[in-house]
Amino acid sequence: MPDAALAAGAAEAGTSAAGEAGSGVFRGTPVCGSVAIGPLVVVGPAAARKRKATGDPAAEADALRTAIAAALAALEEALAAEDDLAGEILEFQAALLEDDDLTGPAFTAIADGAPADRAWTVALAAEIDAYRADGDPVLSARGDDLADLSARVLSHLTGTADPAADVPRGAIVAAAEMTPSAFLALSAAGVAGIATTGGSPTSHVAILAKARGVPLVVGLNALPAASPGPAGAAILDAAAGTLHTAPDAAALAVARARSAEAATAAEAAAARATQPAVTRDGAEVKVMVNIDDPAILDTLDPAICDGVGLTRTEFLFQHGAPDEEAQLAFYTRLIAWADGRPVTIRTLDAGGDKPLPGITVDGEANPFLGVRGVRLSLARPELTRVQLRALARAAATSPVPLKVMVPMVTVPAELEAMRALLTAEVDALAAARIAHAAPILGTMVEVPAAALTAARFDAAFYSIGSNDLVQYATAAARDNAAVAPLADPANPAVLELIGRTVAAGKARGVEVSLCGDMASTPALAAALLATGLRVFSAAPAEVAAVKDAIRSAAAGPAA
């Protein structure tokens, strides 16, 4: 058993340090990908960079100006070569470099006699610390961007090398921190996988890794001491969240077999991905797709799915609230991509694990039980109206009714309040003779109160958000590793809540789908079918495997 082999390694070496020969198993949080094998390259904290200061403030200011301009030029060059998602991150960094509020303090320090490199590092460190101070994952991702930017300019000041320079193709890279630009350089260099002691599954690096299919583990319990030599292979099990350094021949053989098996299974499943998902006993199941990142539309074939079951619109708000035209452009593009298949777009679901600076409420004692999802949308109607207008305008381009769904609904009055806002915007568009269509309005079911009273909601469809439903049913926060074993989606209480929602949908004659991670987990497909569920919405990379799991399950008596 591969896990047993890895666990045996952990027992030998302990969980935090490599043994004498550099062998050990390091544990972290899986982000994406499966098993990767390759030579290990350990990237320690950046070596102190030496630069000889001129002692002349004017020359130091010139040196910093030149370094900033060079960093900007390099960013612009990288931008031209990158996809939408990476481009968005690089564009954000380029805008920061042009922001005098950010660079000003460094020039002030130079005028006061500081050398350019120290002035720059100290000025940026203050900003980076402020972003990272309260442990908030979104702000700390912003801090990572700034740290990346700081390193970029510093490397131009000191003339230091590219992060991928000494990393061979196919390597497993272990690092303390990973900046988005270092990630992009490493991914372009063809690394087999990455493990970091820092980072989080919601960081920019994690988003990029998922989009590019680079196996990634974050939050390793320790950094391996050093590479065990150029030929020393390591095993990154990105599904289990482990990095096995200097494994013995037996562990390597097991990992190679697993990796080959995973590649063959993925290839075979992908070949069947465009076929419908029909259970062994003939039940037709719809498998839709979740869209979390616009860049995926460039590479994803809509033929693998029966439509879009969830569009997380939070990504549009990462750098502030987008205007109506920007939202309209994305919604229209998504509808065109779906090519006649139904599209479901969720209204902004900010708060809880998805804080948005300047939009969500700061300092709540318990953000998961606070002003999040629809509660925030109703507290900020000016933002909601813009989104609803853009959705109604985009609906005019859809050959089938556009489905709009509302997150974190607890009582029917919240859905009705959103309907009132939507109706007012539809009426205003009609009065202004702007092309539009009224979307149909559904509710997410992710609060147990909504699951137990689903039939009372005047919803055109239900979409079960199992990630939140599990955390609220089991009272185990979805971002707290210490209670993760309790947050079990297979808990009978969770399945009961799903079953009741499916029954309410059936009684009302409306569709019930499930778009949380449960629908992306092949091992849970049979249990979900047993609740009567017949519409899944899965992460793009999991659609093929989920369809296969449905095909090998029996649905049981007609739902």
- Closest approach, Cβ 478 to ligand PEP, in A, equals 8
Place of tokens 């350089």: 185
CA distance linking residue 440 with residue 459, whole number of Å = 9
- Closest approach, Cβ 357 to ligand PEP, in A, equals 18
- Closest approach, Cβ 534 to ligand PEP, in A, equals 18
- Closest approach, Cβ 515 to Mg ion, in A, equals 9
Residue type, 387: Q
CA distance linking residue 118 with residue 110, whole number of Å = 9
- Closest approach, Cβ 372 to ligand PEP, in A, equals 9
Question: How many chain residues are in contact with Mg ion, going by CB under 5 A?
Answer: 3
- Residue 216 or 350: which CB sits closer to ligand PEP? 350
CA distance linking residue 154 with residue 164, whole number of Å = 17
Q: What is the token pair recorded at 173?
A: 């890279």
Position of minimal CB gap to ligand PEP: 516
**Contact set for Mg ion, span 11-50 (CB under 5 A):** none
- Mark 448-477 with x for binding to Mg ion (rule: CB under 5 A) and - for no binding: -----------------x--x---------
Which one is catalytic: 204, 244, 305, 436?
204
What does the buried/exposed string (b/e) look like for 310-329 if buried means 16 or more CB atoms within 10 Å of the residue's CB? bbbbbbbbbbebbeeeebbe
CA distance linking residue 141 with residue 124, whole number of Å = 15
Distances in Å between the alpha carbon of 524 and those of 484, 498, 536? 17, 13, 11
Distances in Å between the alpha carbon of 1 and those of 25, 26, 246, 257? 16, 18, 19, 11
- Closest approach, Cβ 452 to Mg ion, in A, equals 17
Does 521 contact ligand PEP by CB under 6 A?
A: no
**Helix, strand, coil in percent for the chain, rounding step 5:** 50, 15, 35
- Residue 43 or 348: which CB sits closer to ligand PEP? 348
CA distance linking residue 227 with residue 96, whole number of Å = 35
Return the closest-CA partner of residue 221 out of 39, 29, 13. 29
Out of 143, 201, 232, 516, the residue judged to bind ligand PEP by CB under 6 A: 516
Which partner, Mg ion, ligand PEP, none, binds residue 542 by CB below 5 to 8 Å per kind?
Answer: none
**Which region, judged by CB under 5 A, interacts with Mg ion, from 129-137, 269-277, 427-435, 442-450?**
442-450
- The total of other beta-carbon atoms located within 10 Å of residue 358's CB is 9
Distances in Å between the alpha carbon of 436 and those of 37, 56, 442? 52, 63, 19
Which partner, ligand PEP, Mg ion, none, binds residue 515 by CB below 5 to 8 Å per kind?
Answer: ligand PEP
- Residue 200 or 463: which CB sits closer to Mg ion? 463
Does 517 contact Mg ion by CB under 5 A?
A: no
Rg (CA), the chain: 25
Which partner, Mg ion, ligand PEP, none, binds residue 466 by CB below 5 to 8 Å per kind?
Answer: ligand PEP
Out of 285, 291, 515, 543, the residue judged to bind ligand PEP by CB under 6 A: 515
Which one is catalytic: 32, 156, 244, 515?
515
Out of 132, 312, 333, 506, the residue judged to bind ligand PEP by CB under 6 A: 312
Does 367 contact ligand PEP by CB under 6 A?
A: no
The SS3 of residue 215 is coil
Q: What is the token pair recorded at 502?
A: 């499916």
- Residue 90 or 376: which CB sits closer to ligand PEP? 376
Q: Which runs of E-coded beta strand occur in 84-232?
A: 172-175, 193-196, 216-218
- Residue 34 or 537: which CB sits closer to ligand PEP? 537
- Mark 335-364 with x for binding to ligand PEP (rule: CB under 6 A) and - for no binding: --------------x---------------
**Contact set for ligand PEP, span 432-491 (CB under 6 A):** 446, 465-468
- Residue 219 or 516: which CB sits closer to ligand PEP? 516
- Closest approach, Cβ 405 to Mg ion, in A, equals 11
Place of tokens 């939070």: 314
Active site residue 515: yes
CA distance linking residue 520 with residue 514, whole number of Å = 10
Does 489 contact Mg ion by CB under 5 A?
A: no
Strand partners, 22: none
- Residue 40 or 295: which CB sits closer to ligand PEP? 295
- Closest approach, Cβ 373 to Mg ion, in A, equals 7
What phi-psi label fits residue 373: left (phi over 0), alpha (psi between -120 and 50 degrees) or beta?
Answer: left
DSSP secondary structure, 500-539, as one string: HHHHHHHHHT-EEEE-SGGGG-GGGHHHHHHTT--EEEE-
Residue type, 232: G
- Residue 197 or 466: which CB sits closer to ligand PEP? 466
Residue type, 341: R
The SS3 of residue 311 is strand
- Residue 82 or 517: which CB sits closer to ligand PEP? 517
Binding residues for ligand PEP, rule: CB under 6 A, are 310, 312, 349, 446, 465-468, 515-516
Catalytic residues: 204, 515
Binding residues for Mg ion, rule: CB under 5 A, are 446, 465, 468
